[in-house]
Structure 1
Amino acid sequence: MNSNTLMQYGLPADIAAMNSTGLTLGRVAQQGRNLYSVQTEDVRVQAQVSGRYRNIAFGPKDYPAVGDWVQVRMPDNPGDNGIIERLLPRSSQFTRKAAGTTSNLQVVAANVDALFLCMAMDGNFNLRRLERYMAVAKDSGTTPVVVLTKADLATDFAQQVEDVAAIAGDATVLICDATRADGWQELQSAIEPGKTYAFLGSSGVGKSTLINRLLGSDELATGGIREDDAHGRHTTTSRQLLLVPGGGIVIDTPGMRELAIAQADVDGAFADILALAANCRFNDCSHTVEPGCAVQAAIADGTLAPARFSSYQQLQAEGAANTQLRGRAREHAKIEKMFGSKKNMVTIMRADKSKSKRKH
């Protein structure tokens, strides 16, 4: 690495200006269970979060993720781990529900300039899944780009592209065929030096294959497709930052069979339905039985697909429910940090109340 290492990794000016005495700036390049691989200007170092950091973190979302900028206390001995003391502000974050919980957020990738939402055009083609990805991408603070893979296996190419374009709205749609020498040129042309791109999609859509093409090597493992359901086998097991020759940074992520919504901009992903709703007779129209409902009229005349409206309703309900659960989980985490448990909190509050009565 040369003296501009962090510039190659997309260092923005505002982050570069955040200096702290005794700490070294770095970007999380890979994430394990308890350790992080952090790229600094001079070296790649293994690091863990400090005890103080753990004490102020309420949940998975508060911990560093791949793509995060952090300040590290470097080890005195080269073989020791560094200590992550601070997480710097994120410009964007793509989240999902953390595994094993009902509401906690987990950051999949941070400080990403564009999310490449990958969907294969073979038997794994699923418009409802794309709507889900679009809703989460719209909330992430970054730019969604739809990447259609395996174009050579399309079941009805023209219709599939038309259906995807209707869901993508103003988002760019790229079409890739990794079996052709030039089948990934649209994707390569979208990569800009110093920008970070995360590849997201279910198992078997070809994310790792496309990234290997961009890297010019077989750095990432790839797997086959199960013939019974057209789904792929998980080959990416951890998230990591990779430098693209000629500039640009990509993040490969493990395939997600289902993306459980924790935070999403459902309205942003269904702008067509919101535009219809603006013409309803009643401002509080539920779009079910009210007279003068523009949404139901669009469904009746074939302008709006019933399945898309049903998906909109489902994602709205799911997002609202998770918002409530997340608020409760956050409060519970705060109580545990302060008192150890809700039972201890009640005991302490009763004791304080009793002392106050005795004083008066």
Structure 2
Amino acid sequence: MTAAPLLQVRDLSVLFPARRGAPPVRAVERLSFEIAPGQTLGLVGQSGSGKTTAGRAILQLQKASGGSVRLLGQELTTMPAGALRRMRRHMQFVLQNPYSSLHPRMTIGQILSEPLQVHRSVPANRVRERVEELLELVNLDPTMMRRYPHEFSGGQRQRVVIARALAVNPDFVVCDEPVSALDVRTQAQIVALLQSLQEKLGLSYLFIAHDLAIVREMAHRVAVMFRGRIVEMGSADQVYDSPAHPYTRLLLDAVPVPDPRLQRERLRQAPPDLRFLEGDGGACVHGVDHEGAGTPEWHEVAEGHGVSCRYWPAGSSPAG
């Protein structure tokens, strides 16, 4: 029997209102996906595609304009403030820049104690013991709890951020570009740590990144975002080995390859025709007539592998 999804997102939209004469911006539009217990969905796309806004809206850190977000069967978008605060122990956030997300005047012990005290997840006499457990969980020496963030390397600070996210035993963690600020060797270590923690604790991740190689390493399923919408979604193997949307192929072709000959061949190829991304109507790549349709149609190209049309309806292309 298939386990019920831990997270269900349906038609999630985020609209930023008009400001100073600028038109409103549809940062996220009608996102729908599910994440099973113990699984990772990789959310990829270029900067400005709406990935971070989507993650914040799922965690209710950014107000959604429409749609539904259900975590553990509970609807988050209409949940009262008190109940949402209690629900936050089940969902946590790992940010891109570990230094900016750690208070510079608090010791690591104080930083890790804070969520324990806010959520009262352990008795007061066990807080120090729990902090030591968290540091060991992310492969840091418990004696480091007396140090301040500036005394750590970038990789160590990110381990502290991960430990803080795990302090209240969450079920779901949004990882927003968690390794992009780190060097390649440290990136591999943090990815291995996240995978180990997922296996050990049964965590579910939404892993947001623009580095496609890391996403393939981390994710069971991958969703590709362009201008606020998901244009392709499937298993990691389906999306990487058989990309069905031209935008996905563009992202994959932009990844450097270690073979100089193959890289030169790529550079000699004509750039892809992306005029469909700004289209104002007409036939889609699948031969379906969508004249007057409100949104791009979704096609299953294989079991569990879906792709949108090349078509954006007239006048409705989401803002970049």
TM norm structure 1: 0.23
Larger Rg: 1
Bigger RCO (CA 8 Å, 6+ sep): 2
Query: TM-score if structure 2 supplies the norm length?
Result: 0.25
